[in-house]
Amino acid sequence: MFDFYPEVNLSRESLLEKIKGQMSEKRFKHILGVEKAAIALAEKYGVNVHKASLAALLHDYAKETENQVFLGLIDKYNLDADLKNWSNNIWHGRVGIYKIQEDLGLEDPEILHAIEVHTVGSPEMSDLAKVLYVADYIEEGRDFPGVIEARAIADRSLNMAVAFETMRLIAYLAELRVKIYPQSIETYNAFIKYLK
Q: How many residues form the binding site for Fe ion (CB under 5 A)?
A: 2
> Would you count residue 99 as binding ligand GDP (CB under 6 A)?
no
Tell me which of 120, 138, 153, 158 binds ligand GDP, using CB under 6 A: 120
Which of 126, 136, 141 has the alpha carbon at shortest distance from 166? 136
Footprint on residues 159-188 left by ligand GDP (CB under 6 A): 169, 173, 178-181, 184
> How far, in Å, CA of 195 to CA of 190, rounded?
11
> Would you count residue 139 as binding Fe ion (CB under 5 A)?
no
Which of 174, 138, 144 has the alpha carbon at shortest distance from 36? 138
Distance of CA 122 to the CA centre of its chain: 12
Task: Kindly calculate the radius of gyration of the chain based on its CA atoms and give it in whole angstroms.
Answer: 16
Tell me which of 130, 136, 154, 165 binds Fe ion, using CB under 5 A: 136
The torsion angle over the Cα atoms of residues 86, 88, 94 and 95, rounded to 10 degrees, is 100
> Would you count residue 60 as binding Fe ion (CB under 5 A)?
yes
Q: Inter-axis angle of helices 49-58 and 109-116, to 10 degrees?
A: 50
Tell me which of 60, 96, 117, 159 binds ligand GDP, using CB under 6 A: 60
Residue 89 contact partner, candidates Fe ion, ligand GDP, none, CB within 5 to 8 A by sort of partner: ligand GDP
Instruction: Tell me which residues touch ligand GDP (CB under 6 A).
Output: 60, 63, 89, 93, 118-120, 136, 169, 173, 178-181, 184
